[in-house]
Amino acid sequence: MLAYGCVADQVDEYLKLGATTTRHCITHFVDGVIREFSAEYSRKPTPEYMNHLLREGEERGFPELVCWEVSTACMHWEWKNCPTGWKGMYQGLSKTTMVILEVVASCDLWICHAFFGTPGSCNDINVLQRSPVFDDILNGRAPQIQFTVKENTYNQGYYLTNGIYPKWATFIDAITAPQTPKQRLFTKQESIGKDVERTFGVLQARFAIIRHLALAWSVDMSWKIVMARIIMHNMIVKDERESYLNY
């Protein structure tokens, strides 16, 4: 179901496994993945990982900079089995019931923050206002890093966004129509700003369940499926990174 997106009773005659048993199996599976691996594969970024991002940024033409990206286009997952009483809250402009996923991803597609469950009637600003993405920064728990821009030293990372987001100090907007040489140089960051879009694409390619309609009957179950999928995605990213470094 996770890998190919099939429904619970699609292969019941072949596997001799009822739909109810199949749903129980996937519930136990995602619970086990979250319980056993979330501490390592859905953790906040460590100082060592931030240093890794500094090196990645230097290789991509931004020496001494570390970049995260807040999703500029939160992924909407259409919810087929949304209860009738909730449809008004979860319907967006498209008149279909959806649940929104917001992630923060780095250049190697590691997902270090995921916020799922916002109704489809919300926009990106509403998602940002509900999301705990900046809780660590506000409470002083964010990893301390240092980089220098124009002889000014900063100790916090920044987030690449588009023009819809508010003008916060931690946000850096892309320049849609660069005119001067400085602006044209700055637009190189737009390619980095596509990292989260690539992350969504890789998630959908690896786990077809996200490409199809959400069939769970509750937001809590959908949340478990999303988190288990993100944890397994981060497992693969870590293995690929270690294989690349060993090579």
Question: For residue range 108-161, what is the model confidence (pLDDT) as tens digits?
Answer: 888 888 899 899 888 888 888 888 888 877 777 766 677 776 777 777 767 777
Q: Report the pLDDT averaged over residues 39-58.
A: 76
Q: What's the rounded Cα separation, in Å, for the pair 214 and 207? A: 13
In a domain, 211, yes or no: yes
Categorize the per-residue pLDDT at 191 as very low, low, confident or very high, splitting at 50, 70 and 90: low
Choice between 7 and 142, residue whose per-residue pLDDT is larger: 7
Categorize the per-residue pLDDT at 93 as very low, low, confident or very high, splitting at 50, 70 and 90: confident
Residue 71, pLDDT score: 46
Give me the domain span that covers residue 185: 12-246
In a domain, 109, yes or no: yes
Categorize the per-residue pLDDT at 97 as very low, low, confident or very high, splitting at 50, 70 and 90: very high
Q: What's the rounded Cα separation, in Å, for the pair 187 and 62? A: 12
Phi, psi (deg, nearest 5) at residue 113? -150, 135
Residue 61, pLDDT score: 63
Reported as half-sphere exposure (CB side, CA atoms, 13 A), residue 57 has a value of 21
In a domain, 63, yes or no: yes
Residue 223 has pLDDT above 80, yes or no: yes
In a domain, 77, yes or no: yes
Tokens of 124: 């990106």
In a domain, 7, yes or no: no
In a domain, 1, yes or no: no
- Tell me the chain's radius of gyration from C-alpha atoms: 20
Whether the full predicted model's pTM is greater than 0.85, yes or no, is: no
Residue 177 has pLDDT above 70, yes or no: yes
Strands 171-173 and 67-70: unpaired
- What's the chain's length in residues? 247
- What are residue 60's DSSP bridge partners? none
Residue 199 has pLDDT above 70, yes or no: yes
In a domain, 6, yes or no: no
The percent of residues in the chain predicted with pLDDT above 90, rounded, is 16
CA-nearest of 27, 70, 224, 61 to 160 is 70
Q: What's the rounded Cα separation, in Å, for the pair 157 and 47? A: 12
In a domain, 3, yes or no: no
Phi-psi region of 91 (alpha: psi -120 to 50; beta: other; left: phi over 0): beta
Tell me how far CA of residue 140 lies from CA of 74, 130, 137, 173, 175, in angstroms. 26, 19, 5, 24, 30
**How does pLDDT run across 53-62, given as a tens digit for each residue?**
777 766 666 6
Q: Report the pLDDT averaged over residues 225-241.
A: 91
The count of structural domains within the chain is 1
Residue 192, pLDDT score: 66
Q: What's the rounded Cα separation, in Å, for the pair 41 and 39? A: 6
